[in-house]
Every structure is written in structure tokens, then in C-alpha cells.
């Protein structure tokens, strides 16, 4: 049979996951003029957009407007969404090979990294991933609970997720009430007794992973002072030399901002956000009930590796912080998918530039591709997924033109849809999602909020009249 | 951004050779795979050197029998190795100031990949493009 990509014989692509990376790839594939592509996009949730819905902070509405561009892609008649269909549960690689020429995995990072220290499993110690998913109303996490009755909380890590979490813990009930945060989280956080939040960076100010706008926003919180110890804000000689040599303006600005926070006398606001540097947690201690009660820290100093990276080395000097809530925000982690080669150490699907590799030979497996966080690891803002997805989509198109694809049988769109509905009778279309979206936004309008989210799949299906 | 990001998207393939193998063999591997350098591994499979196009050209210019010599005789012996945990920015700086283009990546004493200056520059460009893209969508749609 002739290579797929014509009107009569379109290149049929299944995309697993409906986050930003999935939509950027779909957009690129559908834009081709000389190759006709049809896309079916699957997500395990009835709602699309991945972490834009379930990760991005509820007080950061503006960034969520990227979904308008994604929704435009979804209007292409060659695009279909099958929500509430999970790869590995409802459909398998064998199913895909039967119906599609190519599959693109865009499943993100569904789990979290551990710190690997004693006491991590105590009650009251959670991954930030869970806390984020809970406040954003992800259906799998709506029943989590977090003890907000303590006065001191510790967040490990100083990436943008740690900053999000610290900020959310510091918002006032009035500020919370204006967001699209899940109702259960607004209620819990409005009653929170947490007054002091400690953010722990294991390296210095010049190595902090957060970005400048997020740091600036911390300094503008209505009811929380940012507190930084001047000795920790000062740069060590190695960082200072690096900064002087590079002339990296954004980094210089970050360090300046940290030092100006350190120099600022606290305004006496009811909450405090302590941004610490050069400290690592070494152990979480529990009370008699097995609930976390404090965290031991060791002070670090920086040393340079062979390549000039500065790494934290413990000095032996220790301290202890009382805390009834510990959130580790040391990174997300990808999960393997059944039948797909995985690189366990890196937490990604084994690939080269988006082509999935056979672990035995390191040669590409025809038909299988990967993009986004499950391709390169859990880093980068929404837009970073665009060049990443364009790279993968380009490889897919190249291979399709050369005819190295799966060899599916003949199947009409309708036959495929019937097959999917057979596996998941409750699957959700993009029009169904639009309906849910309208309902959420309308409910938000009545409450003076951007939207009121459905947080359970039953509620979503009921709203669709199922 | 950590080196692991670059490695994850590039894959673990890395071309290696032993110090006792011949330069002719090395050239064939370089040509067949369209690459610029080979990592030389000792018998514990730890990088003991690197053999780049430049090493070969330099030696060819010096003596006529280069093709018949062993890799170990003409490689650059002191090879700097990186780790997946290294910061891309720092590594890029070290590679530019040190004038080397290939960096073997070692984790727990094992060679796990190799990156080039080009890989790092591309990763930084993608990061920048991503930040700009994110800003643009926000501006366009607000
Ligand atoms: C807490 C947090 C806040 C962030 N805030 C910002 C921000 O303010 N601005 C910004 O630019 N970037 C932000 N980011 C980064 C941004 O969200 C990511 O870069 C982006 O979402 C990654 O896209 P992705 O498509 O790879 O993965 P995801 O967005 O995670 O999408 C993966 C999708 O795959 C689905 N899926 C998973 N497994 C399966 C399966 N087996 N079958 C079917 N579907 C499956 C999931 O349900 C999900 O919808 C934030 C990230 C986090 C974690
Ligand atoms: N507003 C936004 O634009 C926004 C919001 C949220 C997320 N995001 C993006 O999403 C991505 C993921 O964010 P993230 O915060 O999860 O990851 P991240 O930026 O990689 O930050 C992880 C943090 O955890 C620290 N860490 C890792 N292991 C540790 C350990 N064992 N002990 C102590 N600290 C440890 C890291 O320190 P080291 O540097 O020392 O390793 C770093 O400070 C990022 O690219 C981020 O920019 C963006």
C-alpha cells in the first residue's frame, strides 16, 4: 500500500495525554500541507490540558489562556479527543498498532521524586505534587488531606513549584476566594493555622531554580513577610566569581532581589515566609502518633565539580526546625507505561530526539514517539514543550514520508470510535469537554471566580447527563 | 536546567573505543556514524581519554604512520567528565573556556552518555524559545 498521508489514506496518529506537549505536537502535525494527518488524542481524565489545569497555580489565571490556542487546534475536523480513556487500562499498544500508523506518548510526569532521608514517610510529610493536585481539584487527589492545624510548615526545594506552594499557603481567605482553586482546598486553606513557612534551598541564592517574576511576587504578598537571613543571602566566593565572569543579567537581578529582601525589615505581617539557603534536611522526626513534628537540617557549603557546577556539601553544622507539615518539592517524576521502554534513572521513556528506542540495541522502534516531560524530564515552562514537540513531530513526519510506520489494517474513523467506546463507554469528546468548561465558567461567574471546577469524574459525567 | 534534561532527550547512545584499538578503526567508526569524537574506555569501562577529529588531524600533520598507531597513543588523555546533576549553564561555560566540545557523562562510575557543546547550546535556545513562547501566548490571548 502507498505511504499514508493522502486524503484517501491519512496518516493516523494516536496521542496519549492531552497536556501542552500533546497539543503543540498536534498543531505541528496538522499544519503540514503535503501530508494529511488525522489525530486521536486520549487522556485518562475527562478534562484536557494536563498540568495547565492540574498544576499551574489557581492564582495565576493569565497563563492559563494558552488553552485557547489548544482549543483552536481541537477545532480542526481531523482532530478528535477521547477523554477518560487511559493507556494501559482501557487501551494497549497492541490496540494502537491495529488502528494507527504512529503513537505519540505525552503523558507527563505523574509521580514525584523522594529525598531519600529517614522519616520521609511520616504522617504530615507529603510530596508537593499531591498538595498541588489536591488544591487544583485533580479527581485522583480530592480525598487527600493535609494537616493545616500546625503553625510551622517546611517546603523542601526552591523551584517554581516550591514557590507556588509557599505562596498558596500564604494567601488570605479573601485572596483564595477569587481563584479557581477546588472548593475543598479553599475551605481547608481558609482555616489554616500555618503562620511560618520555611523554604529550604540546598545550594545558594545564585543556584536557586525559581525564576525572577515568581520571586518578585513573593515580596508582594498582602499578608506575609519574606524573611531571608543576610548571611545566607550573601554569595560565597565561587558563586560570586561565576556571576562576575558571566554577566548573566537575570541571575544578577535574582541575587539582588534576594539580598534586598534580606535587608528589608519585616513589616510585621501575620504570616512569614522564610527563604533559607545552603541547608539540607537530613531527617524528619515524628511525635508519639507517628506525625511529623520537626526537621533536622545540616548547613552546606558549595564546592565546584570538574565541570564547574557548584554542588552542596554538608558542613556538619546542624539545626532543627519544628514543623507539623512537610512538603517535598524536589521534582516530579515520570512513570513507565506498559510495554514502552523506560529509562528508570532518568524517569523518562527511552528516546533519542523523540524516537522511542529499543533498550537492547538503542535503535528507534518504528511508530513510537515521545514528547514533553515524559521525554526530557520534569522541567520547563509550558512554552518549552513547543520546540520539544516540534522536534518529535518533525521526526514523525520524516519517518512517515519514508514509510516506517506501524502497518494498521484499514479502519474508518467511525470504526475506531466504536472500538474506543467499546473499551470505555463513558469516554468524553471535545464537545463534551466544552460543555463542562461552560458549566464551570458559568458557576464561577456566579461566585466571582474564574471557574468552579468539577473535582470528581462522577460529577462530570452526571453534568453531561450520563 | 540540569544535564539530565539534555541526556534524556538525546538518549544513551555513545560511541566508545579501547586504547589498544587502532586509529584506522577509530576513523572508520567516526565516519560510519558521522560523529566527531569517541570516548576511550579502560578495562573497567571508565573514560580514560577522548579521541576527537582534531587529535587525529594533529597527529596526521606530525607523522605519516598515524593510521597504524593505537588510539591510546594519540588520544587526549585527561578527559573531563560531567554528571547528569551538573547545571547546563556551568558546563557550557567550562566547555567554552576550556575549548572542548565533547563531554562524557558519568554516573556512579559508569559512562551513561555524551553531550556536545551543540547539544547544550540547543537546550539553552529551546529554553529561551519556550519562555518567549509562553509570554507571547499570554500577551496574544489577553
Ligand atoms: C505545579 C506546577 C505549576 C506549573 N506552573 C507553570 C506556570 O505557571 N507557567 C508555565 O509556563 N509552566 C508551568 N508549569 C510547567 C508546565 O505545566 C509543564 O511544562 C507542562 O504541563 C508539561 O506538559 P506535558 O504535556 O509534558 O505534561 P502534562 O501537562 O502533565 O500532561 C500530561 C497528560 O497526560 C495524561 N496522562 C498521563 N498518563 C496517561 C495515560 N496512561 N493515558 C492517558 N493519558 C495519560 C495526564 O492526565 C495529563 O493530562 C507548572 C508545572 C507544575 C508541576
Ligand atoms: N510560574 C511558573 O512559571 C512555574 C510554576 C511552577 C513550575 N514551573 C516549571 O515547572 C518545572 C518544574 O518545577 P519544580 O519546582 O518541580 O522543579 P525544579 O525547578 O527542578 O526545582 C527543584 C528544586 O528541588 C531541589 N532539590 C532537588 N533534589 C533535592 C534534594 N534531594 N534535597 C533538597 N533539594 C532538592 C532543587 O535544588 P538543586 O537545584 O540544588 O537541584 C530545586 O531547588 C520547572 O521548569 C519550573 O520552572 C513553572
Predicted confidence at residue A247, as pLDDT, reads 81
Predicted confidence at residue A410, as pLDDT, reads 84
CATH 3.50.50.60 location in chain A = 114-330
Does residue A166 line the site of ligand 2, with CB under 6 A?
no
What are the C-alpha distances in Å from A233 to residues A225, A262, A278? 16, 7, 10
Among residues of chain A, what percentage have pLDDT more than 70?
A: 100
Predicted confidence at residue B141, as pLDDT, reads 59
Give A430-434's long-range contacts (Cβ < 8 A, gap of 24+).
Answer: A430/A48, A430/A74, A430/A79, A430/A80, A430/A81, A432/A46, A432/A83, A432/A464, A433/A46, A433/A47, A433/A48, A433/A81, A433/A83, A434/A71
Does residue A18 line the site of ligand 1, with CB under 6 A?
yes
Predicted confidence at residue B45, as pLDDT, reads 87
The mean pLDDT of B107-135, rounded to a whole number, is 92
Q: Which residues of chain A does B112 touch, with a Cβ-Cβ cutoff of 8 Å?
A: 345
Supply the pTM of this predicted model.
0.97
Nearest-by-CA chain B residue for A207? B87
Interatomic CA distance for residues A194 and A204, integer angstroms: 26
- The overall longest dimension of chain A from CA atoms, in Å, is 75
- Per DSSP, B66 falls in state G
Q: Which residues of chain B does A207 touch, with a Cβ-Cβ cutoff of 8 Å?
A: 87
Would the pLDDT of B142 be above 80? no
A262-297 pLDDT, tens digit each = 999 999 999 999 999 999 999 999 999 999 999 999
Kindly identify the ligand whose nearest atom is closest to the C-alpha of B4: 2
Distance B139 CA to ligand 1 centre (A): 21
Q: Which of B103, B125, B138 is facing A65, going by the closest CB pair? A: B138
Three cell numbers written together for B135: 509570554
Distance A280 CA to ligand 1 centre (A): 28
When the candidates are 3.40.50.2020, 2.40.50.140, 1.10.10.10, 3.50.50.60, the CATH number that belongs to A114-330 is: 3.50.50.60
Predicted confidence at residue B99, as pLDDT, reads 87
How far does the CA of residue A265 sit from the closest CA of chain B (Å)?
33
- pLDDT < 50 positions in chain A: none
Instruction: Say whether domain A11-110+333-428 belongs to CATH 3.30.470.20.
Output: no
- Per DSSP, B102 falls in state E
Question: At B135, is the pLDDT very low, low, confident or very high (cuts 50, 70, 90)?
Answer: confident
Predicted confidence at residue A1, as pLDDT, reads 53
B59-84 pLDDT, tens digit each = 999 999 999 999 999 999 989 999 99
Instruction: Identify the CATH number of the domain in which residue B83 sits.
Output: 3.10.580.10
CATH 3.40.50.720 location in chain A = 11-110+333-428
Nearest-by-CA chain B residue for A343? B8
Q: Which helix (H) or strand (E) holds B49?
A: strand B47-52
Q: Which of A310, A376, A387 is facing B8, going by the closest CB pair? A: A376
B7-49 pLDDT, tens digit each = 999 998 899 999 999 999 999 999 999 999 999 999 988 999 9
- Contact assessment for residue B66 and residue B41, using Cβ atoms and an 8 Å cutoff: no
Could you give the number of structural domains in chain B? Answer: 1
Predicted confidence at residue A264, as pLDDT, reads 95
How far does the CA of residue A384 sit from the closest CA of chain B (Å)?
4
Q: How many CB atoms lie within 10 A of CB A384?
A: 27
Q: Which residues of chain A does B104 touch, with a Cβ-Cβ cutoff of 8 Å?
A: none
Amino acid at each position: 500500500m502507498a505511504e499514508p498521508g493522502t486524503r484517501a489514506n491519512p496518516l493516523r496518529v494516536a496521542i496519549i495525554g492531552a497536556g501542552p506537549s500533546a497539543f503543540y505536537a498536534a498543531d505541528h502535525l496538522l499544519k503540514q500541507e503535503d501530508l494529511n494527518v488525522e489525530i486521536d488524542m486520549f487522556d485518562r481524565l475527562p478534562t484536557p490540558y494536563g498540568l495547565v489545569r492540574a498544576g499551574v497555580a489557581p492564582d495565576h489565571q493569565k497563563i492559563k489562556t494558552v488553552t485557547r490556542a489548544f482549543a483552536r487546534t481541537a477545532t480542526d475536523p481531523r482532530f478528535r479527543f477521547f477523554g477518560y480513556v487511559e493507556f494501559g487500562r482501557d487501551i494497549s499498544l497492541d490496540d494502537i498498532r491495529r488502528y494507527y500508523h504512529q503513537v505519540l506518548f505525552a503523558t507527563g510526569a505523574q509521580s514525584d521524586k523522594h529525598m531519600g532521608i529517614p522519616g520521609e514517610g511520616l504522617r504530615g510529610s507529603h510530596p508537593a505534587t499531591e498538595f498541588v493536585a489536591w488544591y487544583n481539584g485533580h479527581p485522583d487527589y480530592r480525598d487527600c488531606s493535609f494537616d493545616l492545624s500546625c503553625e510551622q510548615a517546611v517546603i523542601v526545594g526552591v523551584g517554581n513549584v516550591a514557590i507556588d506552594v509557599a505562596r498558596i499557603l500564604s494567601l488570605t481567605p479573601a485572596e483564595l476566594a477569587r481563584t479557581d482553586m477546588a472548593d475543598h482546598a479553599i475551605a481547608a486553606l481558609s482555616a489554616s493555622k500555618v503562620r511560618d513557612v520555611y523554604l529550604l534551598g540546598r545550594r545558594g541564592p545564585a543556584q536557586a531554580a525559581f525564576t525572577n517574576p515568581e520571586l518578585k511576587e513573593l515580596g508582594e504578598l498582602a499578608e506575609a513577610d519574606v524573611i531571608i537571613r543576610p548571611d545566607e543571602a550573601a554569595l560565597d566566593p565561587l558563586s560570586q566569581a561565576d556571576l562576575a565572569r558571566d554577566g548573566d543579567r537575570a541571575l544578577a537581578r535574582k541575587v539582588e532581589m534576594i539580598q534586598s529582601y534580606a535587608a528589608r525589615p519585616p513589616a510585621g505581617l501575620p504570616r512569614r515566609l522564610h527563604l533559607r539557603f545552603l541547608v539540607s534536611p537530613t531527617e524528619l522526626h515524628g511525635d508519639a502518633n507517628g506525625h511529623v513534628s520537626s526537621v533536622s537540617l545540616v548547613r552546606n557549603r558549595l564546592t565546584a565539580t570538574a565541570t564547574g557546577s557548584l554542588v552542596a556539601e554538608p558542613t556538619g553544622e546542624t539545626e532543627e526546625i519544628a514543623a507539623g507539615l512537610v512538603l517535598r518539592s524536589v521534582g516530579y517524576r515520570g512513570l513507565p507505561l506498559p510495554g514502552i521502554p523506560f529509562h528508570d534513572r532518568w524517569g523518562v521513556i527511552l528516546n533519542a530526539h523523540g524516537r522511542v528506542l529499543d533498550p537492547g540495541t538503542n535503535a528507534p522502534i518504528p511508530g513510537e514517539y515521545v514528547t514533553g516531560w515524559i521525554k526530557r524530564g520534569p522541567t520547563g515552562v509550558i512554552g518549552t514543550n513547543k520546540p520539544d514537540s516540534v522536534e518529535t513531530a518533525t521526526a514523525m513526519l520524516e519517518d512517515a514520508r519514508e514509510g516506517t510506520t506501524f502497518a494498521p489494517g484499514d479502519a474508518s474513523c467511525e470504526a475506531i470510535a466504536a472500538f474506543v467506546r467499546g473499551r470505555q463507554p463513558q469516554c468524553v469528546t471535545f464537545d463534551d469537554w466544552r460543555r463542562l468548561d461552560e458549566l464551570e465558567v458559568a458557576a464561577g461567574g456566579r461566585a466571582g471566580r474564574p471557574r468552579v471546577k468539577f473535582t470528581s469524574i462522577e460529577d462530570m459525567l452526571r453534568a453531561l447527563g450520563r | 536546567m540540569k544535564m539530565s534534561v539534555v541526556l534524556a532527550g538525546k538518549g544513551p547512545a555513545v560511541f566508545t573505543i579501547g586504547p589498544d584499538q587502532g586509529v584506522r578503526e577509530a576513523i572508520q567508526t567516526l565516519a560510519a556514524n558521522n560523529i566527531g569524537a569517541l570516548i576511550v574506555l579502560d578495562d573497567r569501562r571508565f573514560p580514560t581519554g577522548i579521541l576527537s577529529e582534531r587529535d587525529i588531524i594533529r597527529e596526521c600533520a606530525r607523522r605519516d604512520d598515524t593510521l597504524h598507531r593505537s588510539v591510546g597513543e594519540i588520544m587526549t588523555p585527561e578527559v573531563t567528565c560531567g554528571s547528569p546533576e551538573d547545571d547546563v549553564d556551568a558546563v557550557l561555560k567550562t566547555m567554552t573556556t576550556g575549548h572542548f566540545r565533547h563531554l562524557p557523562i558519568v554516573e556512579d562510575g559508569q559512562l551513561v552518555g555524551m553531550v556536545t557543546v551543540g547539544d547544550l547550546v540547543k537546550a539553552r535556545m529551546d529554553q529561551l524559545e519556550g519562555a518567549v513562547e509562553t509570554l507571547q501566548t499570554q500577551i496574544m490571548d489577553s
